Every structure is written in structure tokens, then in C-alpha cells.
Amino acid sequence: MKRATLLSLTAASLILACQSDQPIGPKHNIAAAISDGGHSGGNQHFFFLPPMVPPPPPTFSGTFDASLQPVVEICKLGMNGVCPLIKRFPFGGPFNPLQFWQAFNSVQLAAQAQLYFALWRPNWGPTFDPTAIYRVRVLSNQTNGQALGIADVKIVSSEDQFEAVWQSKEFVPMVQGGLLLIDFRIEQGALTGTQCSGQPDCVQQTVGPNPNTRLDVVTPSGKGAVSFPPGYFTQQVTLTVSQVVEGCFSGSTFPAFGCYSFSTSPRVDDPLFCQLNQTAATCARVEVCPTLAPTDSRYAHLELVKSDPDQPLQTLTGTTATLVTCQTTTIGLRAHGIIDLARASWGMVTDALGRLVRPEPLYGATAMVHDGLGGLSCCFSNIGWRLPVTITPLTPTNGSAPTGAMVPVSVLVQALHPLAELPPPLSGVLVTFAATPGNGTVNPVSVTTGSDGIASTQWTLGPGLNSVQARAAASGSPVTFAATGTLLLRPLSDGVTAQPGVTLPLTDRSGLSMQSGTGIQLEVSPAATVTWSSSDPPGTFASVNTTGLVAVVQGNTSQSAANEVIFSALVGSTPVGSIKLNSFNFEHFPRTTTLVWRPITGAATYDVSVEYASGCIDIPVNCPAASWTPLVTSNTSNLRYVFQFVGKQSGRWRVVAKNDAGPISDPTPWEYFRYIN
């Protein structure tokens, strides 16, 4: 009764203090695939409790242990059994109802209720993935992070989904936007008698002092083992060696290719000072068989590492394994293979997979690899094989391309083989590509590297700033590629006469040469919502409004100084295109040019004349009079004309108004421009 009362008071105080939170779930039972004393043949002295599991609570036969300091870890299940940590609850001590918020960050002991608990309220922001499966693990602090129980959580958004997950009996459902009460009971004996319950390959033994003899312990499968030098133990301890199927490496996205947990209770840390002097006489030797087949191209690049909570991975000093039973294979050496080995500095001259046993004869062409390499370790941890892999970009990581264009994106995955002069490419590694949400796409999104170690995709750009991330279980991940999707700025085709050979609407950039008092409407292609800006904010020479309508105040009748204005389009804060007006520095190619002039009263048509200063790359004022050469003579009823200019040189144009009787005006003043490309 005391336990039920305290649990109710605890839950009530938490709910009242967090009224903005949604409830944990609908008011009916839940059933989930969990590993504890009441489910899946788990630890018989560890139990998840209601409301995390459906009432009534399981029948207890043991004595509650309030002396422990358990921790809770929540990780996000991914590919290849990878489960990167997203939340860790260290032990916080006895629960104080006046400081209930401590339960959101640490495991609380409710001794009277005979339980431990924590509250998980994810950051429900845009970075949280509600489609993923999240694993709750309860770990023992006393036995170096040994898992006592696990429960997989699935996020749901409705009562119907909650009911469906409940009926499937595969997960603990959690309503999106809410919180989850993680409550559990640990009994005496949970750390010493039943850690191997339900484990796929596990051995637990009580070992005593070994002043004169070496102690060896091997798992039932023969694929995990540990050997202790004489004098390692001075008291009786419980030793557990257990296969770790998922989440081998703390705080890392690297998958494990064979992993075991090695722990003692009580904990024994470096009794013979292995960290100061790594030898077979001072260190424990751990042995693990890798899970990759010898024929796998990645096989020869594995390395044995140990993982401790909140610590970087540590590569183990290699030594010959003698206890585990694994496959063997041969690795060919180059002509100077023995010299390469002599230069190597990785442990006791090993490759990344196994110990290179001395060949017979000494300079033989091959060397036998024992793929159950042992590693010298001072202390106990998760020990497993990983691929020391890097991922680097092959294509540019910054650039621009027209919106809608397909941009190739490629990465190179290499193995950091300790004996290789250059990191070799690694095949068989899964690389995923993800584009900026809502802006740009990639296809395919998942690629496995080939024999060259390369994974590639096609990236279709959206307007503005785009980014793509390439991810793999490798250092250097993710690789980020950024590119700007550009837009074509062009004048509307309405009321424009085009020179033969020029297609409307324009598909290339155009320069604008316009008389004073004229205007033209600009557009972007492909169509997109943009913000317009001008290099002439006061509008001294010209201006543009919010719709892209250009109004010219001063034309370019001067031969010595251009009244240049640059109009730009932005998506967000990113420039995506520009167009120049009345410039002496047009640089685009092809040299498409749009002319705009004022209407003249009584005119029915206009003769347009364009000339170029042959061979004169200087500004017009410095071009000899004799250099001006006719280029275009055309008649149009419109007030706009588009044509292709020739050469890297200065140009000028003017019009004459006409009606049926002939010219009705003098030629307009010359308007000048120049191309520098």
C-alpha cells in the first residue's frame, strides 16, 4: 500500500507541475516487447513497472535493492544495430517531491515505493525523428554499464495508433508531444546471479584470488574469452562475459562487427598497473571473434577497440589470441611486406583484423591471420571490432547551378588500414544522402560503395541555398555539400522584337541598354518567389519595384562614364541571379542585348541601328571614329529589340521614328555600352 500511495503521489506531483505536457498515453493497458524478469526471459531480479507496462505489476520473489546507482540510457535504433545515444540519466539519489524536476535529468530512488524512476520528455522540435524506434536501457553502474533490462519505444500521434502498437505487443507506445515515465524495480541478486538470462552468448563465473595461476574464461560459443595473468585477483568476484548485439560503442555511430561486454562485480580496475606497462604479465587479454567473413572486402581493415560510457574509443594493443575459435584466412604480402611490417607502429605489429603470425619460411609470400585477435586491456568495458573508416567528398562542397539542374554528388569511403601507405577504398559501406527539407531532392538516397569506395547520387537543386548531407558509419560523417540554385533574370517577351536566330522567351542572360524615361518588366525563370534589389538604392539612375518592374531615370548617352545599375533577385537572403543595365562591363556570353527606347509621337515603326567599335576594347570615348562599323539595321513597330552583339568591344545604338511617308524624326542620341568578355 505504501508503494502504491507514493507512486500515485509522485505521478500526481509531476503531472501538476507540468500541466502543459500531454498525458503519457490513453487510459488503457500497454504491452511491449521488453526484456526483464517478466518478459522475454530477461534478468529475473529486474522488472519494468506500470504504467510503463500494463498492470497489475509482476509478482516479486526477491528483496528490493536500494543500494544501487542505476543509470538509464535512451538511444535511437538505426542501421546495422547502431544505436547512438540521445539521452543519459545518471543516478541522482533519493527522490525529493519538492525537487521533482530532477527526474527529467537523473534516475531517482523511491525507496518506500521500492522502485527507481526517470522521466523522459524529448525535445519535440524539428530535429526529433518521430518515425524512429528509441531503445530504453537500464544499466548497472556497479558492473561497468551492464544492461539489466531494455524496452523499445515507438512514437504515436493518435489513440488509434496507440491502440495498434499496443495490440502488436512489439513496442512501448509513447504519444508524440508527451512524456514517458520509466519506472523499474531492481532486486538483490540482479548483478550477481542472472545477468546471462536471455543473452545469446554469455558466461558468468565466480572467480577467486589467483596468486600463481592464469585464469581463462570462454563463452559457450567459443567466440569471446578473457585471460587473467597471475595475481590479477586478490578477492572473490563475479565475472560476466556477454555478447553485445546492439549499441557496442558508447557515443559513436560505428557499427560493431563482433562485440562482448566484460565486467566484474565488485569492479576491479587495473590491479597490476597495465596502463603504465602494457604486457601480458600486467594486462587482462580479451579475445573476440569478428562477425565479417574472411572473404568480405572489409575484413582486413577491422580493428579491436574498447568502449566506456562518455569516453572516446580506444584501440587495444594487439596480442595473439589462444582461447577463441574463429576462422582463418591468408593475406598476401607485397614484395616488401616484411619491411612494411617493421615500419608499422600499431600495437604488436598487427593488421587491422588480426595478429600476423610469423610466416614459415620467414620471407614467405603469405602470412596467416588469426581472426580472433586478442587485445590487452587494463579495465573492463565493451570490446568489439570496428571498421576505422573515413568519408571524404569527391565533388565540390560549394558551388552554384541553375535551379532544376542535376548536380552530381560523390563521396569516397576509405579504410584507415594501419599498414597501408594510402588508405584503400572500401566497398560495401552504406551511404545515405539527405537534401535540405523542402528545397532540392536527391536520387538515389541510399548507395552502397563499390570496389572503388565511391558512392554517388544526383542532386536536383531548388531555388536559393541548398544543402545535402552524406552520412555513413565513418569518421568525417556527415559530409555537407552546399550549392545555390540560380535563376535566370530576363525581360518579359511582350512587345519585344527579336533578331532572327534569337528565341523568345530568352534562355540566356541579357544585358539591358535603355534610354532615360523607359521601363521594362523583369521575370525569373523558372518561376519562384523572390525579393528584388538594386545596386542603386536611391534610384539615381534607375530603380526596380517589388514586382521586378524597372524604371530608368538616366540613359547612357555618355561615351566616358556608364550609368550602370545591377538588379538582383534573392531567395531568402541568398542572391540567385542578376541582370545589368547600361553597363560598360557586360561580361555574359552569348552577348544577348535588349534595347528599350521611348515612343515618338506619330511614329508607326522605328529603324534600329547598332554599331560596334571594331577592335576597340576600351570605353567608347577612346575608340577612333573610323572604328565604328554597322552591325544591325532593322525595322520594328515595337519599342524593344533584342539581338546578339559581336566581340569583346564597345557598341552603340539609336533609332529613327517613321510613318508611311518616311522618317518623322532625327536619329535619337547614341546610347553606349561595352562588352568585356
Tell me the CATH number at 530.
Answer: 2.60.40.1080
Same domain, 254 and 229: yes
Q: What is the dihedral of CA 638, 642, 646, 647, to 10 degrees?
A: 120
Same domain, 414 and 367: no
Q: Which string of DSSP letters, residue by residue, matches 578-610?
A: EEEES-S-B--SS-EEEEE----TT-SEEEEEE
**How far is the C-alpha of 90 from the C-alpha of 309, rounded, in Å?**
11
- Strand 640-644 and strand 496-498: the pairing is parallel
User: Which pLDDT score, from 0 to 100, does residue 420 have?
Assistant: 56
Burial of 16 (C-beta count, 10 Å sphere; 0-12/13-18/19+): exposed
The helix/strand/coil state of 175 is strand
Count of CB atoms within 10 A of residue 413's CB? 30
**How far is the C-alpha of 118 from the C-alpha of 104, rounded, in Å?**
6
Same domain, 492 and 358: no
**How far is the C-alpha of 414 from the C-alpha of 392, rounded, in Å?**
8
Same domain, 397 and 408: yes
Same domain, 342 and 218: yes
- End position of a domain, from candidates 483, 498, 524: 483
What residues does 174 pair with on adjacent strands?
Answer: 155
User: Which pLDDT score, from 0 to 100, does residue 421 have?
Assistant: 62
Same domain, 380 and 276: yes
Domain assignment present for 195: no
Enclosing H/E stretch for 151: strand 146-156
How many domains are contained in the chain? 4
Cβ neighbours of residue 127 under 8 Å, at least 6 residues apart? none
Task: Please choose, from the candidates 340, 355, 222, 361, the residue with its C-alpha nearest in 3D space to the C-alpha of residue 300.
Answer: 355
**How far is the C-alpha of 651 from the C-alpha of 630, rounded, in Å?**
10
Domain assignment present for 588: yes
Same domain, 240 and 335: yes
Count of CB atoms within 10 A of residue 407's CB? 22
The cell numbers describing 184, all together, are 523499474
Domain assignment present for 196: no
The cell numbers describing 555, all together, are 540613359
- End position of a domain, from candidates 186, 212, 234: 186
Burial of 369 (C-beta count, 10 Å sphere; 0-12/13-18/19+): buried
The one-letter amino acid code at 88 reads R
Q: What is the DSSP letter of 519?
A: E
Q: What angle do CA 165, 170, 174 make, to 5 degrees?
A: 50
User: Which pLDDT score, from 0 to 100, does residue 18 have?
Assistant: 39
Domain assignment present for 194: no
**How far is the C-alpha of 474 from the C-alpha of 470, rounded, in Å?**
11
Domain assignment present for 192: no
Burial of 506 (C-beta count, 10 Å sphere; 0-12/13-18/19+): buried
**How far is the C-alpha of 148 from the C-alpha of 66, rounded, in Å?**
15
The cell numbers describing 199, all together, are 543473452
Tell me the CATH number at 423.
Answer: 2.60.40.10
Same domain, 131 and 41: yes
Domain assignment present for 191: no
Containing structural domain, residue 527: 488-674
Sheet containing 314-315, strands listed edge to edge, beginning at the edge strand earlier in sequence: 202-207, 237-243, 259-265, 382-386, 303-307, 314-315
Tell me the CATH number at 352.
Answer: 2.60.220
The cell numbers describing 125, all together, are 522540435
The cell numbers describing 424, all together, are 584503400
User: Which pLDDT score, from 0 to 100, does residue 338 have?
Assistant: 25
Q: What averages of pLDDT result for each successive group of 10 residues across the chain (677 residues)? A: 40 38 34 67 83 78 82 85 87 92 95 93 92 91 74 90 78 89 88 61 81 88 89 86 83 77 84 88 89 78 81 79 66 27 28 25 22 63 85 95 95 76 82 88 96 95 94 90 96 97 96 98 96 97 98 97 97 95 97 98 97 96 97 98 97 97 96 97
Same domain, 343 and 395: no
Q: Are 461 and 380 in contact (CB under 8 A)?
A: no
Same domain, 574 and 463: no
Same domain, 462 and 495: no
Same domain, 639 and 529: yes
Q: Quickly tell me which residue has 533490462 as its cell.
A: 149
The helix/strand/coil state of 499 is coil
User: Which pLDDT score, from 0 to 100, does residue 617 have?
Assistant: 95
- End position of a domain, from candidates 386, 410, 428: 386
